[in-house]
Chains A and B, each alone.
Chain A
Amino acid sequence: MTAPLPVLAVEGLTRAFGGLVAVNNLALEIGRGEILGLLGPNGSGKTTALNLMSGALRPDAGTIRLMGCDIAGLPPYRIARLGLTRTFQLVRVLDGMDCRENVMAGLVFGRPHLAAVDINARTATLLQRVGLGGQEARLACELTYIDRKRLELARALAPAPDLLLLDEWLAGLNPSELVSGIDLIRSLRDDGITIVLVEHVMRAVRALCDRCVVMSGGRKIAEGVTGSVLADKAVVEAYLGGIAADA
């Protein structure tokens, strides 16, 4: 019996900015339906890693296989069409458009086989799904912070991605929003979506992630099942006891 193909397999991924190697020889794998936590202190290269995977940045070296197909160096629009979508650390929605159009943006250009779906129905379902039901006509710029994040997530979910990259999607939420946010992401996983979760909120990491990869200074310093990784001495040291301890 052959092992199932990982949704994402990264090897030797490297990218430098001038003299600073932001991502250094990173390797990781994610199986279908898994939530992988990508952790690390500020500036450790998490966002850069996501940028490399989604095509926003071109890697200096390394391979990135999405469902077995090498996507390293492809432009973002091709990667999106292959089934990888993302949200941004600083939430990006289309301010001048309403919620319906924001979701449609993710829907109509994404994947060819979705061309036949009923766009209005699917948009309504997606907005419902993230907790923005019935808000189709609201302008994105009128939404609150958490709703903007929800809208961005709906856009990323629109093309039914194989892999979803979330960059600190739960950051900046108040405690009750955090609870509903965690539930939402868990429900996505239950629907079979594979997720890479970059997160500083350790409560969410513990609640959601099956496995974690920890980065520091661009390198992978630990990897494994969430509980044991978070207890790892090197990891605690990398965080200087700060964030890991308070969780």
Chain B
Amino acid sequence: MTNAILTGLMLGGMYALIAMGLTLQYGVARIMNLSYGEVLIAAAFGAQGLFTGWALSPFAGLAFVIPVAFLLNLAIYRVLLSPLVRRARTRDALEVDSILATFGLAFILQGIMLSMFGGAYYSYSYLASPVHLFGETIAANRLAALAVCILLGGSLYLALTQTRGGTAIRAVAVDPAAAQLVAIDVARTAAFTFALGGALVASAGVLISTFLTFSATSGVVFTMKALIVVVMGGVGNMLGCLVAGLLLGVSEALVASLIDPGLTLAVNFALFLVVLLVKPAGLFGRASR
């Protein structure tokens, strides 16, 4: 039971970090990015390659993966997505367009990874020594990953709430039209935030690769979980992300240990549905009618 809760909290922290990037991309850049999980897996493959090829520790690998992911996501936004933003007449139209475009991107990324790595599961052994905590045994890599996760999530939260740039980003999230009026470059902020979200999910991918097995096709599961966390927490809401992520992680771990590991997604969805029915705008969102 304690172990399940610890595992759940750890998973949940990871989900929160993953979802933070998506909530930025969706809340600020207004792009519902369904290729999100594929970016995560690509980063995991990157970390794995760096580790097995050049014996580079995944945490050092972050220094390489984060800027690359940032630039690639910036390019994706500039080339593929900003034309959609410009042509969209309504927010709904942009939503449908971005859903379809990023689905396309997801399949292309997945196809490329499939042809490079095949369908097999990958993992590598890094910091796998056991650590004792609260009378339970936990692998050191999980703890290290959680620590980095908290560091990244925490600094992002501070950056968003305490800096001028962060305030601009939050302003665009609340009301792009009004943000424009106070001399915020909305288009640039959106592009930057999209790239930032991409860098964030890539770093999550690197962290996850240290303790989970992954394959070219496992991205979609992460996309699903990130989506659920974002919606549950309320779009664009960082604290909501954290709470929803932890909720999801703990409930999942509890069900896996008490009932059946095969039911994790079912649990996610049950939670998701309950939240949607009771509070359609998310746990921390505002009512709309």
**In contact, B286 and A17 (Cβ under 8 angstroms):** yes
Is A94 part of the contact surface with B, judged by Cβ < 8 Å? no
**Cβ of B139 to closest chain A Cβ, rounded Å:** 44
Q: Which residues of B contact A58 (CB under 8 A)?
A: 289
Residue A57 lies at the interface, judged by CB distance under 8 Å to chain B: yes
Contact A57 B286 (CB under 8 A): no
How many A-B contacts are there with CB distance less than 8 Å?
5
Shortest Cβ distance from B288 into A: residue? A57
**Are A18 and B286 interface neighbours, CB within 8 A?**
yes
**Residues of chain B in range 137-178 having any CB-CB distance to chain A below 8 Å:** none
> In the bound complex, what is the Cα–Cα distance between A32 and B286 (angstroms)?
38
Query: Which residues of chain B are within 8 angstroms of A57 by Cβ–Cβ distance?
Result: 289
A56 contacts chain B at the CB level, 8 A cutoff: yes
Instruction: State A206–B286 Cα separation when bound (angstroms).
Output: 39
Asked if B286 and A56 make an inter-chain contact with CB atoms under 8 angstroms apart, the answer reads no
Residues of B within 8 A of A56 (CB): 289
SS class of chain B's interface: helix, strand, loop or mixed? loop
* Cα separation A58 to B289 with both chains bound (whole Å): 6
8 A Cβ contacts from B250-289 to A: 286, 289
Shortest beta-carbon distance, A10 to chain B, in Å? 19
Tell me which residues from 9 to 65 in chain A have a Cβ below 8 Å from any Cβ of chain B: 17-18, 56-58
CB closest chain-B residue, reference A76: B289
Complex: chain A residue closest to B89, CB-CB: A95
Bound-state Cα–Cα, A56 to B289, Å: 7
Q: In angstroms, how far is the closest chain B Cβ from the Cβ of A16?
A: 10
A190 to B286, CA, bound (A): 43
Please, how many angstroms separate the alpha-carbon atoms of A18 and B281 in the complex?
Answer: 14
**Residues of A close to B286: CB separation below 8 A:** 17-18
Q: Which A residues lie within 8 Å of B289 (CB)?
A: 56-58
Contact digits for A184-206, partner B, Cβ 8 Å, 1 yes 0 no: 00000000000000000000000
Q: Whole-angstrom distance between the alpha carbons of A160 and B138 in the complex?
A: 72
Q: Which 5 A-B pairs have the closest CB atoms?
A: A58-B289, A57-B289, A18-B286, A17-B286, A56-B289
Residues of A within 8 A of B (CB): 17-18, 56-58
5 A-B pairs with C-beta separation under 8 A:
A17-B286, A18-B286, A56-B289, A57-B289, A58-B289
